[in-house]
Amino acid sequence: KRMTQLLDDVLLIGKAEAEKLEFNPTPVPLEQFCHDLVEEMRMSASSKHSIIFTSQAQPITANVDEKLLRYILSNLLSNAIKYSPKGGDIDLSLSIEARKATFSIRDRGIGIPAQDIEQLFHSFHRGSNVENISGTGLGMSIVKQCVDLHSGEISVTSEVGIGTTFVVTLPI
């Protein structure tokens, strides 16, 4: 499973870097999409993790690339689980404002050292505090490229030992 994911990531990053990654927006009901994704993620999470979805938005259908949005959110949620080895709550929230969808993913995990945040979206970069937690260092680079294809923005705030919050804003 890990080898398949690595190969998929390498192929995806290769497409992105060759500017061959396609952006195909279609109408997607965002709230239902998030509910379904959270249910999928709950199946792969351990019993010590609780994934909580909240929405401050009215149900809305937005033109986004569903495949790329799935990659963005599933990668951020997977990382939140992976880098919260003691368990705890993982929060996904959705809000809509001024024709933009904002997704926030918050964990209470190991956090990201300040010196690593600047390099976070570069291929093969991993945090200096990940120790023996497996990973390739490709996921966040691909997430950034998927956000860029949507003409969106991604930001991160983190404190070592406290947790991390990623905020993705996409025009809808």
pLDDT tens column, 79-103 = 999 889 898 999 999 999 989 999 9
Instruction: Let me know if 158 is exposed, middle or buried by CB neighbors in 10 A (0-12, 13-18, 19+).
Output: buried
Give the strand pairing for 163-171 and 100-106.
Answer: antiparallel
Q: Rounded mean pLDDT of 145-159? A: 95
> Residue 10 above 70 pLDDT?
no
Give the pTM.
Answer: 0.86
**Sign of the C-alpha dihedral computed for residues 134, 7, 68 and 138 taken in this order:** positive
Band of the pLDDT at 106, cuts 50, 70, 90? very high
Residue 41: φ, ψ to 5°: -70, -35
Residue 135: pLDDT band with limits 50, 70, 90: low
Specify the pLDDT at position 6.
61
